[in-house]
Amino acid sequence: MGRIAGVTAAETRERLLTAAAEAFAQRGYDGTRVTDIAAAAGVSNGALYAHFGSKGELLVAALSAHGPRLLADLFAADPDQPIADLLLVAGRRLPRRRDDNGYLIVEALVAARRDEDVARPMGGYIGHRAGWLAGLVRAAQHGGELDDGLSADALAHFCLLLAMGSALIPPSLHEVDEDEWAALLTRFVTALAPAETTAPRGAPQ
């Protein structure tokens, strides 16, 4: 199997990313073979390596394409919504059960500790996510939504830790009351605002 007749290089790449996301989420990084991903996508191993230099690169590319993007999706749907409100809405959803692709981040983080081929692209992935989050924070600080005395980089890092940690501790391992979780998040997000600012819109009173 080479490239499928009538299928563009971009379509072949997307087939590979979809097949890889499903395989890594279901069988883990160590339990997934490149040949299985290529077969599921309907291409040869050579075609796969024409798009991705290694199994680790493919894992991170699959994570980027099909992994969790909760805050980014919320922002894309309503870019004018206050950032503090977006953080609150996204945070309230973190403890909920997610689909298999939501656990891709776990596979990537574990594999990055053992495999340099994963660690290198994961560094770029985490850096990109952190930079995007820090940019949102700085925009919110400029608009007076968040305290400009806070470190945007530190807050972005905290958000990443919270989001990625939620994948490690799903509801099946430890469930938290939604109202209690929402109340805690509301107090936290309110504390990020300048002193004269009230609680985020829609926050429980």
Q: Are 184 and 91 in contact (CB under 8 A)?
A: no
Tell which residue, 22, 1, 23, has the closest CA to residue 12.
1
CA separation for the pair 109, 151 (Å, rounded): 25
Q: Are 75 and 136 in contact (CB under 8 A)?
A: yes
Counting Cα atoms < 13 Å in the Cβ hemisphere of 94 gives 23
Q: In the prediction, which pLDDT does 4 show? A: 56
pLDDT, one tens digit per residue, over 81-120 is: 999 999 999 999 999 877 777 889 999 999 999 999 999 9
| Amino acid letter, 89 | V
What number is the average pLDDT over the span 30-45? 94
- Average pLDDT for the chain: 90
**Cβ contacts of 132-137, under 8 Å, gap ≥ 24:** 132/72, 133/71, 133/159, 133/160, 136/75, 136/83, 136/86, 137/83
pTM of the model: 0.83
CA 121 to each of CA 59, 188, 189: distance values in angstroms, whole numbers, following the listed order: 9, 32, 31
The CATH fold of domain 67-192: Tetracycline Repressor; domain 2 (1.10.357)
Calpha distance 200→69 (Å, rounded) = 22
pLDDT tens digits for range 143-152: 999 999 999 9
Please give the DSSP secondary-structure letter assigned to residue 65: H
**Cα separation values, 10 from 53, 62, 64, 76, 77, Å:** 16, 14, 15, 23, 25
pLDDT band at 76 (very low <50, low <70, confident <90, very high): very high
The burial of 173, by beta-carbon neighbours within 10 Å (0-12 exposed, 13-18 middle, 19 or more buried), is given as exposed
C-alpha count within 13 angstroms, C-beta hemisphere, residue 191: 7
- The answer to whether residue 121 scores a pLDDT higher than 80 is yes
Please state, in angstroms and rounded to a whole number, the distance separating the CA atoms of residues 31 and 14.
21
pLDDT of residue 195: 79
Distance CA 94, CA 83 (A): 17
Q: Report whether pLDDT(135) > 70.
A: yes
User: CA 150 → CA 26, 114, 120, 145, 185, distances in Å?
Assistant: 39, 34, 29, 12, 17
- Res 128: pLDDT: 95
Q: What pLDDT is recorded for position 205?
A: 44
Which residue ranges make up each domain of the chain?
9-65, 67-192
Q: Any idea what DSSP says for residue 101? A: G
Architecture of domain 9-65: Orthogonal Bundle (1.10)
